[in-house]
């Protein structure tokens, strides 16, 4: 029973993380408290107009129709991965021995989906966060499936879909910024 509550707690924490932007996306409002462009003698207003371009995720215009296609593709990839994962998990020894192979396949799929943008620092951070969250959520799903807890399975799959959508949106914003 205690493990079930732990899994529920993790699921709810994952939901909270999936719907909230990362702390790094929030600009520090007090960072330049004493130095606004134009305030100092040798500065002119507008001199630093592109200084904080990458700090504001809302500055990028993303085609919502295109974004929805990308999200749909990401969800399909994740669903296919889940189906394969369920089959592979049946043999624990084989599952453990093929960890590096699965990681390489995942990196290859991400590179195919996002191209050269996977090498950008902000993309690497986003993909690392996404992989971390997916690994935790898949583990929750594994436990729920072992216990045949249909409510927890449904909840874990819903949170997995939310995380996949969140990450696809974040990666598309990173791609849009790089296209400028």
Give residue limits of the domains in the chain.
65-180
**Residues above pLDDT 70, as percent of the chain:** 66
Query: Nearest-CA neighbor of 117 among 168, 172, 175?
Result: 175
Q: How confident is the model at residue 159, as a pLDDT?
A: 94
Q: How confident is the model at residue 48, as a pLDDT?
A: 47
Sign of CA dihedral 23, 26, 30, 31: positive
Q: How confident is the model at residue 51, as a pLDDT?
A: 47
Q: How confident is the model at residue 16, as a pLDDT?
A: 60
Q: Which residues of the chain have pLDDT under 50?
A: 25-40, 44-55
How many residues make up the chain in this entry?
180
């Amino acid at each position: 029973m205690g493990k079930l509550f732990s899994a529920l707690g993790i699921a709810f924490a994952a939901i909270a993380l999936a719907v909230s932007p990362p702390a790094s996306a929030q600009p520090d409002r007090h960072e330049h408290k004493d130095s606004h462009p134009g305030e100092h003698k040798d500065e002119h207003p507008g001199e630093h107009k592109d200084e904080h371009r990458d700090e504001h995720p809302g500055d990028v215009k993303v085609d919502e129709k295109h974004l929805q296609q990308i999200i749909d593709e990401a969800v399909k990839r994740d669903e296919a991965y889940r189906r394969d994962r369920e089959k592979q998990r049946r043999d624990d020894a084989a599952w453990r021995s093929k960890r590096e192979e699965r990681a390489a396949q995942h990196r290859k799929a991400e590179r195919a989906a996002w191209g050269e943008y996977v090498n950008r620092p902000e993309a690497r951070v986003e993909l690392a966060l996404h992989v971390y969250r997916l690994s935790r959520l898949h583990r929750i799903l594994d436990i729920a499936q072992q216990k045949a807890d249909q409510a927890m399975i449904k909840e874990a799959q819903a949170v997995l879909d939310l995380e996949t959508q969140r990450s696809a949106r974040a990666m598309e914003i990173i791609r849009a910024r790089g296209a400028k």
